[in-house]
């Protein structure tokens, strides 16, 4: 195994130091290190972060390998600075059995670019009718701890209660896609001034807020852990703020796109901006940014949602919702938060690793820590070219935008997955 000596690198924003990676761990940190056998990486101007952890990734395998595979999505993740991703269950077949979650887990191991932690479905076939085999998925080789019907809401309150109760036995967590389905029938975008003007059916903020309010009460009642996916409204933030103040065991994520883009993008009728939950108003964006800074929102998760050309380059109404995220998330975070490295490490690595229970991830580079880390060059600005992305899909909403920051290298257990900004395999 090659050793790597990274010189003059800032570890999570601290004064520059040297960092020696050997045998899968951070062997030494300090000034003037020497290791004659090591490959030297000049870290001048670079920032080392604990490898990023994405709690919300769609990898599309099995079933839609034309849009993404575990391998292509893993490569996109590594290039984005990630060392672990949680793969959502809305594949085909759905990841609702031990067999499917083990398949995804094994494909992740074979690709070897990031740790792929499968998320199990809450209900059979995401149909919202009966609980999936949560225990069997937890006991499988994939050791599933997080369950989600993402893409669909677990709308039935009794099923939601049972799921929350069930996962308590192994300290599991239910990640809810909060969308009251009766309030969003036929919805195409955020319900508001822009939807009225465009004549598109709206997805009201209350459809999200009502489910979050119900679920924090259920989680409180049964004493279980709830995670809220892709929070998108100012009202949701207030519901979460109150629940957290009462001590409810709830965590929440926001996506990069909900931190940056608004519903006005729909005026282009370009389906690349169609996403679920939809892009909201600038007042929502402001509230989400404030909540991310003050901790009411715990993490940034990408909701990386690759879609094939025929599912995206069509009429708005027929287009699937979702956008790419893995290869641009850190740049958006830098743009939105500025070079607040400790906050970025907290929201994109340490906390998501803790929520998902991914040991060995989310640990700052320090002697003895597993060498899961990424090197960022914050001084570079790059223009996003969809054709250059490693994802199999092209549906980035940031096409031709110039964004700050570039991932220079990523290490998974001491092995580089990205070097010089390029995937190693």
Whole-number Å distance between alpha carbons of 89 and 81: 23
Instruction: Please report whether residue 71 would count as binding Zn ion according to CB under 5 A.
Output: no
Stretch that binds Zn ion, among 13-21, 175-183, 324-332, 358-366 (CB under 5 A): 175-183
Tell me whether residue 58 is annotated as binding: yes
Instruction: Please report whether residue 22 would count as binding Zn ion according to CB under 5 A.
Output: no
Instruction: Please report whether residue 150 would count as binding Zn ion according to CB under 5 A.
Output: yes
Sketch the per residue contact string, 108 through 127, with ligand DOR: x for CB under 6 A, - otherwise: --------------------
Chain position whose Cβ is nearest to ligand DOR: 322
Tell me whether residue 19 is annotated as binding: no
Sketch the per residue contact string, 297 through 316, with ligand DOR: x for CB under 6 A, - otherwise: --------x-----------
Partner whose binding site includes residue 322, from Zn ion, ligand DOR, none (CB under 5 to 8 Å by kind):
ligand DOR
Tell me whether residue 64 is annotated as binding: no
At residue 17's C-alpha, the angle toward residues 11 and 19, to 5°, is 75
Instruction: Please report whether residue 392 would count as binding ligand DOR according to CB under 6 A.
Output: no
Which residue of 64, 75, 145, 177 would you call a contact of ligand DOR, by CB under 6 A?
177
- Least distance in angstroms from the C-beta of 152 to ligand DOR: 8
Tell me whether residue 190 is annotated as binding: no
Instruction: Please report whether residue 95 would count as binding ligand DOR according to CB under 6 A.
Output: no
Instruction: Please report whether residue 177 would count as binding Zn ion according to CB under 5 A.
Output: yes
3-state secondary structure string across the chain: CCCEEEEEEEECCCCCEEEEEECCEEEEEECCCCCCCCEEEECCCCEEEECEEEEEECCCCCCCCCCCCHHHHHHHHHHCCEEEEEECCCCCCCCCCHHHHHHHHHHHHHHCCCEEEECECCEHHHCCCCECCHHHHHHCCCCCCEECCCCCCCCCHHHHHHHHHHHHCCCCEEEECCCCHHHCCCCCEECCHHHHHHCCCEECHHHHHHHHHHHHHHHHHHCCCEEECCCCCHHHHHHHHHHHHCCCCEEEEECHHHHHCCHHHHHHCCHHHCCCCCCCCHHHHHHHHHHHHHCCCCEECCCECCCCHHHHCCCHHHCCCCECCCCCHHHHHHHHHCCCHHHHHHHHHHHHHHHHCCCCCCCCCCCCCECCEEEEEEEEEEECCHHHCCCCCCCCCCCCCEEEEEEEEEEECCEEEEECCEECC
Partner whose binding site includes residue 154, from Zn ion, ligand DOR, none (CB under 5 to 8 Å by kind):
none
Residue 62: exposed, middle, or buried by beta-carbon count in 10 A (0-12, 13-18, 19+)? Answer: middle
Give the nearer residue to Zn ion in terms of CB position, either 177 or 413. Answer: 177
Number of residues that bind ligand DOR (CB under 6 A): 11
Give the nearer residue to Zn ion in terms of CB position, either 98 or 178. Answer: 178
Looking from the CA of 268 toward its CB, the CA atoms found within 13 Å total 10
Give the nearer residue to Zn ion in terms of CB position, either 89 or 248. Answer: 89
Q: Dihedral angle at the C-alpha atoms of 225, 227, 233, 238, nearest 10 degrees? A: 20
Looking from the CA of 162 toward its CB, the CA atoms found within 13 Å total 16
- Least distance in angstroms from the C-beta of 200 to ligand DOR: 16
Partner whose binding site includes residue 321, from ligand DOR, Zn ion, none (CB under 5 to 8 Å by kind):
ligand DOR
- Least distance in angstroms from the C-beta of 262 to Zn ion: 19
Instruction: Please report whether residue 253 would count as binding Zn ion according to CB under 5 A.
Output: no
Which residue of 50, 322, 370, 414 would you call a contact of ligand DOR, by CB under 6 A?
322
Catalytic residue of the set 303, 311, 364, 377: 303
Give the nearer residue to ligand DOR in terms of CB position, either 177 or 265. Answer: 177
- Least distance in angstroms from the C-beta of 274 to ligand DOR: 8
Instruction: Please report whether residue 58 would count as binding ligand DOR according to CB under 6 A.
Output: yes
Is 335 annotated in the active site? no
Tell me whether residue 395 is annotated as binding: no
Distance of CA 191 to the CA centre of its chain: 25
Whole-number Å distance between alpha carbons of 227 and 173: 7
Partner whose binding site includes residue 332, from ligand DOR, Zn ion, none (CB under 5 to 8 Å by kind):
none
- Least distance in angstroms from the C-beta of 421 to ligand DOR: 27
State the catalytic residues.
303
Residues making up the annotated binding site for substrate are 58-60, 90, 276, 307, 321-322
Residues making up the annotated binding site for Zn(2+) are 56, 58, 150, 177, 230, 303
Please give the residue ranges that form the binding site for ligand DOR (CB under 6 A): 58, 90, 150-151, 177, 275-276, 305, 320-322
Please give the residue ranges that form the binding site for Zn ion (CB under 5 A): 150, 177, 229
């Amino acid at each position: 195994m090659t050793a790597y000596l990274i010189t003059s690198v800032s570890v999570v924003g601290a004064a520059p130091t040297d960092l020696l990676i050997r045998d899968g761990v951070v062997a030494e940190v300090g000034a003037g290190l020497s290791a004659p056998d090591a490959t030297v990486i000049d870290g001048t101007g670079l920032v080392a972060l604990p490898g990023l952890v994405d709690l919300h990734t769609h990898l599309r395998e099995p079933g839609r390998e034309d849009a993404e595979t575990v391998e292509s999505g893993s490569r996109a993740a590594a290039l984005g600075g990630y060392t672990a991703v949680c793969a959502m269950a809305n594949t085909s077949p759905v990841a609702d059995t031990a067999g499917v979650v083990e398949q995804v887990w094994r494909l992740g191991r074979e690709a070897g670019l990031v740790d792929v932690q499968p998320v199990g479905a809450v209900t059979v076939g995401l149909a919202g009718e009966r609980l999936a085999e949560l225990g069997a998925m937890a006991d499988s080789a994939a050791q599933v701890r997080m369950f989600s019907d993402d893409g669909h809401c677990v709308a039935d309150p009794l099923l939601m209660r049972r799921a929350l109760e069930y996962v308590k036995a192994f300290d599991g967590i239910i990640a809810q896609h909060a969308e009251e389905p009766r309030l969003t029938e036929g919805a195409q975008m955020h319900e508001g001034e822009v939807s009225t003007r465009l004549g598109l059916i709206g997805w009201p903020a209350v459809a999200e807020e009502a489910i979050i309010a119900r679920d924090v009460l259920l989680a409180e009642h049964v004493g279980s852990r709830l995670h809220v996916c892709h929070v998108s409204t100012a009202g949701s933030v207030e519901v979460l703020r109150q629940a957290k103040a009462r001590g409810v065991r709830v965590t929440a994520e926001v996506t990069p796109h909900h931190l940056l883009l608004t519903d006005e993008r729909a005026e282009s009728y370009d389906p690349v901006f169609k996403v679920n939950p939809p892009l909201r108003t600038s007042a929502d964006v402001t509230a989400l940014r404030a909540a991310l800074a003050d901790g009411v929102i715990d993490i940034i998760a990408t909701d990386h949602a690759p879609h094939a050309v025929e599912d995206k380059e069509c009429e708005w109404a027929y287009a699937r919702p979702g956008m790419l995220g893995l290869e641009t998330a850190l740049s958006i975070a830098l743009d939105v938060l500025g070079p607040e490295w400790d906050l970025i490490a907290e929201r994109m690595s340490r906390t998501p690793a803790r929520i998902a229970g991914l040991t060995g991830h989310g640990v700052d580079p320090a002697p003895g820590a597993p060498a899961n880390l990424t090197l960022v060059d914050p001084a570079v600005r790059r223009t996003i070219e969809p054709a250059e992305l490693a994802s199999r899909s092209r549906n980035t909403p940031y096409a031709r935008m110039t964004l700050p920051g570039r991932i220079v290298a990523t290490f998974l257990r001491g092995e580089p997955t990205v070097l010089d900004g390029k995937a190693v395999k």
